[in-house]
A = this chain, B = another copy of it.
């Protein structure tokens, strides 16, 4: 039996706790969320877990791993404590909004020898995995370029924007990760344009709502990204991978399998709304991978260094917009 503690039982922490508890060999022993109140109590009752403070978790030697799904500003400290106390780590991205902190924590976790799964759940999505596997199999030929669309169904609140780190660190970071993952090599040049085309208020909050990014990889292959805080039809999350023999597309998943036809044409359903629904299978599979990592040592699809490298690209994109220039990056580049 694997004993786990969950930090943060908001929307995504709740999903992770339920998914972990559904795995036969797992016991959610502790929940840690100073502000969740009644919701935490309810979830604790359902899971047979106890609501405790962080210290209890790290001093309990029966705890095998921690799930860090609390607010971003708590991640770094929890990662360091988990590394120090030898608990296996499942951590939501990003590690920190401060790149130097990300780098320091990454180094510390790596030095500790503790295994860590960084929650780029898209790597675990069956559709994205199918594409990755097909590229690796060679059936599609050589990967030449990638186009990605990420558009939220509607803009977040200004309050959220304020502590999100901005669109690149918050939303586009999944695309930066997917670019590296599918290419199988590092990005060396980043060019980004961005603007507030939906609502000027995002600009007052220091952010943008629309961006286009071009990435060039070490071997000279290309990635284009369209990132936006709104699509009129809902959540737009697509991938197009051009290889020499095939083009592979991850399409949006519709809410319904119903088409309505009338004089205006054939109306298909809007896509699943929103990431909790769209990536339900990915969240289940990544939690199973976390438990598998603890039980068998199986290396997860994304580790803590992947968080660092994706964030390096995000930082470069921010600098690119500020400077109007393409940014050349490498392992020593820092914002």
| Residues of A that sit less than 8 Å from B by CB | 24, 46, 126-127, 130-131, 134, 140-141, 144-145, 147, 149, 151, 189, 191, 193, 195, 197-198, 210, 212, 214, 216, 220-222, 224, 226, 228, 231-234, 242-254, 256-270, 324-326
Q: How many Å from the CB of A15 to the closest CB on chain B? A: 15
Residues on the B chain within 8 Å of A265, using CB: 233, 254, 267-270
Taking a contact as CB atoms closer than 8 A, the residue among B193, B252, B257 that contacts A252 in the complex is B257
Quick one: which of A145, A198, A232 has the most chain B CB within 10 A?
A232
Q: Is the CB–CB distance between A246 and B222 below 8 Å?
A: no
Residues on the B chain within 8 Å of A268, using CB: 265-268
Question: CA–CA, A14 to B324, complex, Å?
Answer: 46
A193-B214 in contact given A251-B257, A257-B253 (Cβ < 8 Å): yes
Known: A247-B260, A249-B260, A266-B267; 7 extra A-B contacts, CB below 8 A, are: A126-B256, A189-B193, A234-B263, A247-B261, A249-B258, A253-B257, A326-B326
Q: Is the CB–CB distance between A266 and B232 below 8 Å?
A: no
Q: Is the CB–CB distance between B220 and A197 below 8 Å?
A: yes
CB pairs A–B below 8 angstroms (28 shown): A127-B256, A127-B257, A127-B258, A131-B258, A145-B197, A145-B212, A151-B242, A191-B214, A195-B222, A197-B221, A212-B222, A212-B224, A224-B226, A228-B242, A231-B247, A232-B263, A233-B262, A234-B263, A245-B262, A246-B261, A249-B259, A249-B260, A249-B261, A253-B257, A265-B270, A267-B267, A324-B326, A326-B326
A232-B261 in contact given A198-B244, A222-B195, A256-B127 (Cβ < 8 Å): yes
> How often does this chain occur in the complex, in copies?
4
Question: CA–CA, A317 to B42, complex, Å?
Answer: 53
Quick one: which of A145, A233, A251 has the most chain B CB within 10 A?
A233
Which residue of the partner chain B has the closest CB to A266? B268
Q: Is the CB–CB distance between A270 and B260 below 8 Å?
A: no
Q: Is the CB–CB distance between A228 and B145 below 8 Å?
A: yes
A263-B233 in contact given A144-B210, A212-B224 (Cβ < 8 Å): yes
Question: CA–CA, A216 to B131, complex, Å?
Answer: 32
Question: CA–CA, A245 to B231, complex, Å?
Answer: 8
A147-B226 in contact given A232-B263, A251-B257 (Cβ < 8 Å): yes
